[in-house]
Amino acid sequence: MKLSDITMQELIERPLFWEDFEEDRANRSSIKALVEQDPSAVQKIRFLDQVEDGELLDRDSFRKLDFYEVDFTEYARLYLAEGQYFPEGQPAGNDVDYLKDYSGIKLLIQDVSMPFGDEGLFALYLKDYEFGFINPLGVCIYPFDFTDGSRALYDEDPEKFIRDHVLVHFESEFWEEDFDLKQELFDYYHNLPDVHHPMLANKADPDGLLTAKTVSEKLGVSIPRVMKMVEEGSIDGYKFGGKLLITQSSVDRRIRYIEEHGKPTRGKAPEGKRMRKEKASGKSGEEI
């Protein structure tokens, strides 16, 4: 298979590795020719490199502000966190607007290690500067054991040590089974602290946010089904002070989809099994 034969979206969904393609990554002249023939190859090559290395954090973006800051790689945002890929740029919305590929979000790292000792401590947070609030990532505080000689390297240049060593440790934490990067990034934008948060004033339009009851009436489904649709991402809902609100625009999109394609039925069970289940319950599958 040639790299030019596959789209970026297909590359994200599978994902594939360099060994699946005819091109030799080590052959600089062939890679250069590939880029000259296909401008989109640059992004594909970068993504394949990230998949090959298993990189979740973009070390080239690492810098120190009040906290240390680093971006997530495309591999982390688009594949693991299931962000939406937009080849022609981000669509703008009028509701609680965020970049659906999660490219606006940063990982902030606070070094809270003691001056002495063999264990470091680092606090991890998520922040999108357009939204202006900061949320802990996972358990927030992560220990780091300095191996033989590494404490001296850390003391000599903490910023370089964190970039070259501690970020690798964080990546291994993110691969653990009990860590869900998809849920962490999704929750950052959907479990908002306060609809009246000053930095969200231009992002949230309370008049354009609907209650679950209103949405259930508009779509003709139950309130639990509305909550499930928010969880699935088929409509966009946000929690403000424990109350679930759904954007008008995502409900309108869902209605247009139903008008064009009809109402799909819930569940993926085989037809015979589904019909037996419905017969036993005396009702058909709930439509969405």
DSSP state string for 33-78: HHHHH-TTHHHHHHHHHHHHHT--EEEEEEEESSSEEEEEPHIIII
Using a 10 angstrom Cβ sphere, with 0-12 exposed, 13-18 middle and 19 or more buried, the burial of residue 239 is middle
- CB–CB of 192/238 below 8 Å? yes
Instruction: Tokens for 125, please give them.
Output: 């947070």
Task: Give CA–CA dist 270/215, Å, rounded.
Answer: 29
Three-state SS string over 223-247 comes to HHHHHHHHHHCCCCEEEECCEEEEE
CATH topology for 205-281?
Multidrug-efflux Transporter Regulator; Chain: A; Domain 2 (1.10.1660)
Q: Write the pLDDT tens digit of every residue in 4-52.
A: 888 888 888 877 888 888 888 888 888 888 888 877 788 888 888 888 8
Higher pLDDT, 140 or 205: 140
Sequence-distant (6+) residues with CB within 8 A of 276 are none
Using a 10 angstrom Cβ sphere, with 0-12 exposed, 13-18 middle and 19 or more buried, the burial of residue 230 is buried
Lowest-confidence region among 15-24, 59-68, 102-111, 266-275:
266-275
Residue in 170, 210, 133 with CA at minimum distance from that of residue 58: 170
The reported pLDDT for the residue numbered 123 is 92
pLDDT band at residue 53 using 50, 70 and 90 as cut-offs: confident
pLDDT higher than 70, residue 95? no
pLDDT higher than 60, residue 195? no
Instruction: Tokens for 92, please give them.
Output: 């703008």
Lowest-confidence region among 84-88, 105-109, 168-172:
84-88
Lowest-confidence region among 91-95, 170-174, 192-196, 225-229:
91-95
pLDDT higher than 80, residue 278? no
Sequence-distant (6+) residues with CB within 8 A of 159 are 64, 68
User: How many helices (H) and strands (E) in the chain?
Assistant: 12, 9
> Where along the chain do its domains lie?
1-53, 54-184, 205-281
Q: Write the pLDDT tens digit of every residue in 216-256.
A: 888 888 888 888 888 777 888 887 666 788 888 888 888 88
Strand residues in the chain grouped as ranges (E):
57-64, 68-72, 105-111, 119-128, 134-145, 191-192, 209-211, 237-240, 243-247
Instruction: Tokens for 59, please give them.
Output: 């070390």
